[in-house]
């Protein structure tokens, strides 16, 4: 079974594309939000395992290069590969619909609109 990868269009409200991977009923999407001063990357992610829930979160991760061995027909050689390390996850809940932005070290998570939610006010946090 193969899956599909889809992207949407960039707009004024969404300066970064949303990338979606689908296979059967399983869906995973992400949108890049930015990079902190210390090199932490921020992603908005959505996942669904095929049920009615579409769970949203903000994931903070770092990227680093690590040595590996690539074994092929010509023999073995040392190569570098990127490693993504998740350092934090901020769950936003099922079908969170709100504005999220990251600018100058400040992550802003807007209140959830369009759906009943416990997130009724805007929250801000510093991510350096």
Asked if the structure places residue 106 within a domain, the reply is no
Asked if the structure places residue 116 within a domain, the reply is no
pLDDT at 1 over 60: no
Asked if the structure places residue 24 within a domain, the reply is yes
Average pLDDT of every residue of the chain? 86
Asked if the structure places residue 65 within a domain, the reply is yes
pLDDT of residue 117: 62
Q: Which residues pair with 26 in a beta bridge?
A: 23
The domain of 41 spans 4-96
Asked if the structure places residue 82 within a domain, the reply is yes
Count, residues in the chain? 128
Q: How many domains does the chain have?
A: 1
Asked if the structure places residue 120 within a domain, the reply is no
**11-29 CB burial, b ≥16 within 10 A, e <16:** eeeeeeebebeeeeeebbb
Confidence of residue 36 (pLDDT cuts 50, 70, 90): very high
Specify the pTM: 0.78
Asked if the structure places residue 43 within a domain, the reply is yes
């Amino acid at each position: 079974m193969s899956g599909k990868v889809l992207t949407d269009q960039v707009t004024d409200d969404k300066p970064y594309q949303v990338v979606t991977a689908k296979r059967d009923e399983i869906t995973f999407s992400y949108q890049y939000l930015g990079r902190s001063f210390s090199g932490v990357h921020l992603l908005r992610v959505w996942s669904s395992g095929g049920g009615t829930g579409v769970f949203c979160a903000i994931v903070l991760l770092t990227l680093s290069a690590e040595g590996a061995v690539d074994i092929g027909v010509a023999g073995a050689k040392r190569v570098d590969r990127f490693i993504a390390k998740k350092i934090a996850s901020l769950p936003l809940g099922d079908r969170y619909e709100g504005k999220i932005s990251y600018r100058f070290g400040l992550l802003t998570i807007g209140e959830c609109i369009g759906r009943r939610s416990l997130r009724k006010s805007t929250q801000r946090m510093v991510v350096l």
